[in-house]
Each structure stands twice: as structure tokens, then as C-alpha cells.
Amino acid sequence: MAETSSIKLVVEVCNAKNLMPKDGQGTASAYAIVDFDGQRRRTKTKFRDLNPEWNEKLEFIVHGNDVVDTEILEINLYNDKKTGKRSTFLGKVKIAATGFVKAGSETLVYYPLEKRSVFSQIKGEIGLKVYYVDEKSDPLQPEVDAKKAAVEEKPPEEESKPGEKGEQKVDEKKEEEKKDEEKKEEPKPPVKELKKEEQNQPNPPAPSDGNAEKQPSTETPPAQVENPPLAHTDKALTQGKEEKGSGKRSVPSIVNDIELGSLAGDRSRNAYDLVDRMPFLYVRVVKAKKVNSESKNSMYAKLVIGTHTIKTKSQSEKDWDQVFAFDKDGLNSASLEVSVWSEEEKKENEEAKVETCLGTVCFDLQEVPKRAPPDSPLAPQWYGLESEKWPGNDVMLAVWIGTQADEAFQEAWQSDSGGLIPETRAKVYLSPKLWYLRLTVIQTQDLQLGSVIEAKARGLELYVKAQLGIQVFKTSRTSVGSLSSSSSANPTWNEDLVFVAAEPFEPFLVITVEDVTNGKIVGHAKIPVASIERRTDNLTEPKSRWFNLVGDEERPYTGRIHVQVCLEGGYHVLDEAAHVTSDVRAAAKQLSKAPIGLLEVGIRGATNLLPLKTKDGTRGTTDAYVVVKYGPKWVRTRTILDRFNPRWNEQYTWDVYDPCTVLTIGVFDNGRYKCDESGKDVRLGKIRIRLSTLDTSRVYLNSYSLTVLLPGGAKKMGDIEIAVRFTCSSWLSLIQAYATPMLPRMHYIRPLGPAQQDILRHTAMRIVTARLVRSEPPLGQEVVQFMLDSDTHMWSMRRSKANWFRVVGCLTRAAAVARWLDEIRKWVHPPTTVLLHMLLVAIVLCPHLVLPTVFMYVFLILALRVRCRQRLPQNMDPRLSYLDAVGLDELDEEFDGFPTTRSADVVRVRYDRLRALAGRAQTLLGDVAAQGERLEALCNWRDPRATGLFAVFCLVASLVVYVVPFKVFVLGSGFYYLRHPRFRDDMPSVSVNFFHRLPSLSDQVL
């Protein structure tokens, strides 16, 4: 079958390092075999080299979209032996399709070689560049380049065959002919635009074919609503006309599948089983047909159900093609009335337009057909409009009973969320992709500082300031130099400045050299961020570059600066609190691994929500919605208006790459959806679920309490019902995840300092918040900060007490064991003490059974405790959070901003209280330090008599232990420790008295 795909996968085998010698002479003759989708390519053999360099490009043809989700690129290294002997295995590498990048974004990545079996002796790593090329995306590419690439990527002569060469030429001719034909066709929409459309659309509630309908794209007037409780809006409706019916989209390339991630095995696109099915009455009004077609007056359709009325947009020549979804439980009538009205143009002497009813058609809701996916959409039909004055008019519409699983639900006017208000619709947001940008400032040369001797005399101090967007970092100050220095005008720093860069990147990184003494700028340079080199590990150092410094208009050249700059793709940029991390993947796509499982979350509903605002000034109301965050994906449900027991019944999915991550769910009251009000969303509560506490393939359906901390204290705002299921595709991958490091490799090879990491984390939080706030509709700043816990670094007396009691709780268990041993030692329970004597004798006589006994004892304890484990995921613990005993003044201090806005008297009282607590902490730290200094005093001869006594004791103890058998010594020591109280003195022992008399350095502290 001839190949018809224009997508090619290119594997550039660059080099290998530190291979295992396999030829018996301390070297290896390595070659690589690359397999992808049934295709095999081979590199040349590099003889007698443990660090071979191939630099060969191998091409593979991608047959279809499904290949990307299932196929794996495999590279095997072998030691090439003589003819007739089998090649020796040197290692292998497997790369999932999610690690493929587009041409131009590839970087050299070193993959550690894996074993083929447990007994394989493998070491080293191989450097690869893997990317895909779409020939259709660049129609102006010369054909010469394609032929040149084909020549370079021929297999070695050892495995090439004449027949294969002929087939390759025929395939090349066919591809060139097909390429010429495709140039005549219309260009297809870019894949990136399709990606954005699909990312901005929430998961459909169980479409049968797994594809969501396209988001609206053209602005239209809103539908108007009369009579509450169906809220109305003045917002514009965006609706697309490109896809109708089944809503399927076909993309003839693998690029979209690669960028959107793996969707294989996502059963949520075929099942919507974690939530309840909500019945909705769907009405699709397509168009109307008048008997008098010569009239060009605009028309609209009006839908009436009991006291509820809704209008379509007013059109003169275009079709309406609008879908309305009414919550069936909220209907107060058993009939639906659809009428078509004509609007005549306003005349000069008339105050309003003249509206004429062209006819009405009624439907009995008891006879409306029901539809559920995977049934095909109901086809609209022509219905005659009953009218005595204007007979013969028709309207095309479709009416059916469906659920939120209907594919028309996402684009429909929804009665429970206020219609087509953008701020109340369900949305999916994506956090920006974050990178660390490392700038190493090396030195400057030829700085135009006037006379060098005058600069030395003035004692100039310089520093380098770098700015990326709103981030500004500075190096340390350095002087121009001494008079005897030969490089006095070339100051050197060799300092690293690390920034957080978000895609799409800022245009320039601005580097400025400033004179501290005069407060003037010596010069500046601009580095385009798009041209900065990217790296994934520390094996390849970025190239250093010189940039000219530019001053003002009179000084076009003021020197030059030597820097190293790169985008670090081997780190994971932390953008949330460390204890609630939901994603630990590296920034570089080449380092991404295949997901180990799937997380499905069903947001069912909430109960007993408290009113947070008033409606019409008479009664309280709540407009609640839910935000769910896991990894870079944020999900926002639709807002249910004016209900204290809202039912969302929406289901979403996430790919899971690490089981030790946290899912965060927050509930908020919508205060932004009204056009005439500029409010903020009020938080109702938050819950967290750690995935490692969930059993695989089990549905957890539970109701969680929503508690929020207010300046007046903790308050319960209601309950939320959530269904969670974590499915694992491979148990082996899940178990291996517990043995792998939590963060990518670069965090351990070249770690960032704690203080620097905190600064970068909060910078990343601000960037994510700013990007999501600029989305449409925006995700409020208060919402993002509440979900990310951006205020955990601020001082809080309540959190300090909670953490202190957590430490005390951990030490309590050790104290309980110490008390138990003391009771045994004092013969409080004689049978237990006797049994411990017998255990001591058994340990001394059979020491080889100590460790097996300990591990068996621990196993039995864990086996007995498995029945007492938690069956449901835990929610926020008010007792652990120390919410019950917190004071109002402490809460007011916690909610106070930084810097403080309270009066001087209040700040003075809080400062005195903090000083009292700090004094006790100071004393505790001094006591801990004193104990350590006493241990040091045993050997530093600060107290010569005490150290001399300890030296004599060590000499005597060495002789005694040498003479006495070890088992006898241990047995005697144990019996002495467990001796009866009548043989024991009530005063402290000699060793304790001796230790307490050792000197510390407390007497030398001022």
C-alpha cells in the first residue's frame, strides 16, 4: 500500500557516552538499530570507541493518527562482532510518542540506557534528537532539501538491498506528485488553532464519538428573557457554523494528536457514569418560512413554557439555528409554545417597532421524544404555524428530551446558568508552560567609564541588572579594580540569575550595567528570548556570547558584556505550594513520560449553601460554581444561578503522571456575571484529595464539608458531593513511580537554594495568576490565589500553633515508647518485665534472628491495622488546622496584608506577643545547642578533669569488653538496666550526673 502521509518522524542519533566494554579488549564497536511502527533503520558502526559519535538522521514515515497513541520509538545499541558471531547487547531506550516535538523545537537529550533483563550489564547514555516534520505545513520548501535528506538517511551498505532502493525512489516520486496536487487544494486550518479550540472547551458530558462540537466563533445578539427565574443577559453569543450534525472533526496529521496529549483509553469520552443524568428539554429553532417571501422584515422566534419566555436573535435573511436547553425539573408547565414574530421597520411618527405574530405551534411535553447518545441528533422538521391572519407560514425546529450528555448541551442556551452569559459557562483553562531562564553574567570589557585612573580614584562600583517582563534581578556589586590590576576596567562577576519564563515568551531579556556611585546607566543590551538556547540537562554547557552595550544617543557603544543564557528544560517550575503539588513533569517535552493512569472527577452537586448576597434587596441568594485543578489543567463548571442546592453533574478527566500528587477542588460564588456590577467571586470552601490514598479502579462517592476561614472565625458554608475514580493502566508503572525521584533529574544534579526556590515559586504563581486573569472569561485573581495557596508563606499565629502541635503529635509516639520502657524498667507490670528478660536472652543467644523478628513484627502490625485504614479520602481537618481555639485578634492578624494596615497600638500589642513566643523558642534552641556542646566537651578538653575521666573510662571499658565475651556483656548490661526497683536508687545515675556537669558555651553568649 503506498504511503499517503506527509508526516515524517526524524530520529537524529548523535552520540553515546560511557558504554560498557563488550569486545573483551576494553572497548566496544557500537551501532544503533531504531524501530518505529514496523520500520527499522540502522546506523553505521563506530569501531573501538566507548564514546561513539554518529550524527546520523533516520527518517520514518507516520502512517496515521492512531500510530501516535500506540507506537513507541525503540533504540537498541549493539556491539558489532565479526561475521558469524552474534552481536552483544549494549542497552536500549524506549520513548513514548508524547515526547515528540515539532521540527525547530528539538534539543539534544541524553537518555540512560536500560537493561534488557535483570542480568544485563549495561551502563552509559545515548544522545538523541527526536522530532517530526510536516511537509504540507511548508509548501515552499525546496525539493532539493528533501532529496538531500533522503540521501543522508540511507541505511548502511551492510543492510541495504537493491530492491529497497528502487522502492524508495518510487515512493519519493509518488510523494512529490501528491505534493504538487495538494498545492492546488485549499489550505487547511492550522493545527495550533484546532488545539486552542479543543483546549478551551470543557469535556462534553458523554458524547458518543468522543469529539466535542466546535466553540462558537461569530458574535450575535443575545437572546432576551422575560419573567424570572430564567435570568437574561446582554452578553454577545459566539456561535460557529462550520460543523453541524455529528460534530466530528478530521485532522489528517498526527501533529494535533501529539500536541493535545494521549487520549487513548480515556473512557470518560464514552461513559459519563460518575454523575447523575439530568433531564433537559432541548429546542433547536433553525429557521422560518413566510408565504410572502418578498418582505425583508426581520423575524424572531419566541418560546413560552408556563411563565417563562425566551426569544431568539432577530434575523432578516439568516437562519437562527439556536438551541435552548431547559432544566426539566424547573419547568412549571406541560406544554411548549413556539411562535414566530415579524418586526417592521420603525417609522418617523412611531415610538417603537411594530411586531406581528406570524403563527404559533404547540407541543405537549408528555409526547416529546427522548434521545440519548450514541443516538444520532434529531433532525429538524417543518411545522405549520397556526394563525388566522397569516396562514401558511412554517417554522423548522426539533424538540427532544435529553440529558447533559447531549452534544448540543455545550452550545445551547442553558436555563439553569442564565442562558448565554460567558461568565457562567463551563470552561477549561490551561496554565502557561513555564521555563527557568538562567543568565550567567561572566564579565564586561571595554566599559566607557571615562578615564580609568579617574574611575579608580572615585572608587566606582558596578552591578548588572537583568529584567524579563516584571522580573528584575541584580548581581552583587564589584569595584572597577585596583591600580595594580591589569584588568581594572573589566570587572568579573560569574553569577547566575534565574528567571521564570512563560510561553509565549517576553520579547527581550534586557541586561543593564549600572554605576552605583553615580546612579547612572553605563549601557544596556537586549537579547531576544526566542533565540535563546534550550537544554534539558547539565551535560551540554550553553555557549557563551558577547553582546555590545548601548548607551544613549551620544554613546552608541559603551562596551560589551560576556554572558551565558539558556532555557532550562530539565527543571519543573513549581507554581503551587510544595505540599499540594499536582504536577512534577519537566518543562522540556522531550523528557515527558507516558501517563500511568487516568483521573476522573464527577462534580455532582452541593447542598445547604449559605446565602452570600441579596437578590432584589429582599432575599438571599447564591450563584455557585466549582473550580477543579490538577496539573496545568483548570476546570470551571457552569454557574447555577439562585440555588442553595445546585446540581452540576459534570465529569472531567486528567492524565496522571505521578500518583503522589494532589487534586484541588474549590467552590465559589459568582460575582462577575452581571454586566452592571463589578464584583469579586467569594470563596465557599476547598477540599483536597491525594491520589496516593485512592484505590485503583474504585469509585469514591462522598460528601465533603465546605469550611472557609473568615475574619470572624471558621464557618461551614455547605457540603459538596464529589465522585472520584483513579484508574491505572499498568501496575508495574505505578509501583515503579514510588522508587523514582519526585522531581526531575536537574533538581538533584544542580539544585536551587531554598530561598531562591521560594522566590521563583511565588514569581511563577504571579505569572499563572496574571495569565488566567486575562483569559476570556477571566478566572478571577482571588480564585487562582485561593486554589494555589499563594499566602502560605505569610505569618500566621494559627498555622504556627498547628505546626507546633503536629510536631508534638509525632514526638508523642516516641514519648509513649519511652514511658513503656520506663514502666518495664520499674516493674510496674512484672509479667511484661519477665517476658522482656526472656526476649533479651533470646536476642543474645540468637542474634541472627533479630532482624527477621523485627520485620515480621512490623508486618504483623501492618496486617492487623489494614482493617482500620481510612476508607474515604480525607477532607480539611478543623482540629488539625487549629480552628477551634483561635482568637479573633489572631485571625485579624492572619488576614492583615503585607505591609500591615492596622493601627500602631494594635501592631505594638501583636509585636509584644510575638516577642514573648520568640523568647520561649529562643530558650528552647539554646537548650538544644547546650546538649550538643556538652557532647563536644567530652573530647575537646575544655574541662580537663571531665575529659580525663572520660578517657580513663574508655580505657577501662576497652579492656573489660576485650576480656568479657560480648554476649555476656550485653546480657549483663540488659539485666542491670532491668533490675528490680529495690536494687535501684531514686537519684539520677552517675552517667546522667556526669553529662549534666559538662560545660557548654552558654556562658560565653552576651
pLDDT in tens, 364-390: 888 899 987 778 888 899 998 888 887
Output the pLDDT for position 101.
85
- Which tens digit of pLDDT belongs to each residue from 956-994? 999 988 898 888 888 888 888 888 888 877 788 888 889
pLDDT band at 763, cuts 50/70/90? very high
pLDDT of residue 560: 92
Average pLDDT on 349-359 reads 74
Torsion of CA 353, 354, 358, 360, to 10 degrees: 80
936: pLDDT strictly greater than 70: yes
Q: How confident is the model at residue 238 (pLDDT cuts 50, 70, 90)?
A: very low
Q: What is the pLDDT of residue 57?
A: 92
Instruction: Assess whether pLDDT exceeds 70 at residue 497.
Output: yes
* Of 614 and 195, the one with more pLDDT: 614
How is residue 108 written as a grid cell? Answer: 539534544
Lowest mean pLDDT segment, chosen from 486-490, 547-551, 859-863: 486-490
Q: Which residues contact 559 (CB under 8 A, 6 or more apart)?
A: 444, 445, 446, 447, 448, 513, 522, 523, 548, 549
Which comes out higher in pLDDT, residue 107 or 610?
A: 610
Query: Which residue bears the cell 542491670?
Result: 976
CA end-to-end span of the chain:
89
At 929, phi and psi to the nearest 5? -65, -35
Q: Is the dihedral of CA 409, 414, 416, 422 positive or negative?
A: positive
Q: Name residues whose C-beta falls within 8 Å of residue 207's C-beta, 6 or more positions apart in sequence.
A: 247, 269, 373, 405, 407
Whether residue 206 has pLDDT greater than 80: no
3-state secondary structure of 516: coil
Rounded Cα distance, 413 and 408, in Å: 10
For residues 725 and 180, the model is more confident at 725
Lowest-pLDDT choice from 198-202, 291-295, 502-506 = 198-202
Q: In 896-921, which positions are buried (b, 16+ CB within 10 angstroms) versus exposed (e)?
A: beeeeeeeeeeeeebeeeeeeeeeee
pLDDT of residue 225: 37
In the chain, the percentage of residues whose pLDDT exceeds 70 is: 81
pLDDT reading at 267 higher than 80: no
Compute the mean pLDDT over every residue in the chain, rounded to the nearest whole number.
80
Which candidate, 604, 634, 596, 584, places its Cα nearest to that of 699? 604
Give the burial class of 830: count Cβ atoms within 10 A of its Cβ; 0-12 exposed, 13-18 middle, 19 or more buried: exposed
Report H helices in 779-849: 781-788, 797-825, 830-845
pLDDT, tens digit, 9 for 90 and up, residues 476-491: 998 875 434 444 568 8
pLDDT at residue 645 in the model: 93
Are 28 and 275 spatial neighbours (Cβ–Cβ below 8 Å)?
A: no
Mean pLDDT, residues 82-109 taken together: 80
The cell numbers describing 984, all together, are 535501684
The pLDDT > 90 percentage for the chain reads: 31
Residue 979 has phi, psi (to 5 degrees) of: -65, 160
Q: Contact 302/309 with Cβ under 8 angstroms?
A: yes
pLDDT at 2: 46
C-alpha cell at 219: 458574535
**Residue of 631, 671, 665 lying closest to 648 (CA atoms):** 665
Q: Which helix (H) or strand (E) holds 904?
A: helix 904-937
In the three-class reduction of DSSP (H, G, I as helix; E, B as strand; rest coil), residue 497 is classed as strand
Q: What are phi and psi of 850, to 5 degrees?
A: -65, -55
| Mean pLDDT (whole number) for 311-328 | 86
Predicted confidence band at 117 (pLDDT cuts at 50, 70, 90)? Answer: confident
Residue 44 has pLDDT above 60, yes or no: yes
Which pLDDT tens digit goes with each residue over 779-815? 989 999 999 988 777 888 888 888 888 888 888 888 8
3-state DSSP: the chain helix, strand, coil percent, rounded to 5? 30, 30, 40
Whether the predicted pLDDT of 515 surpasses 60: yes
Q: Please answer whether residues 199 and 214 qualify as being in contact, where contact means their C-beta atoms are separated by less than 8 angstroms.
A: no
Least confident of 16-25, 28-37, 63-72, 320-329: 63-72
Per residue in 944-960, pLDDT (tens digit) is 999 999 999 999 999 98
DSSP secondary structure letter of residue 325: E
Render 369-418 in DSSP notation, one character per residue. Answer: PB--TTSPPPPPEEEEPB-SSSTT-EEEEEEEEE-TTSTTTTTSEETTTT
Question: What's the rounded Cα separation, in Å, for the pair 158 and 133?
Answer: 28
Sign of CA dihedral 844, 850, 853, 859: positive
Longest Cα–Cα distance in the chain: 125
Q: What is the mean pLDDT of residues 180-188?
A: 40
Predicted confidence (pLDDT) per residue in 821-834, tens digit: 888 888 888 888 88
- Which pLDDT value is given to residue 460? 80
Grid cell, residue 998, equals 559538662
Give the orientation angle of helix 830-845 with respect to helix 797-825, to 10 degrees.
80
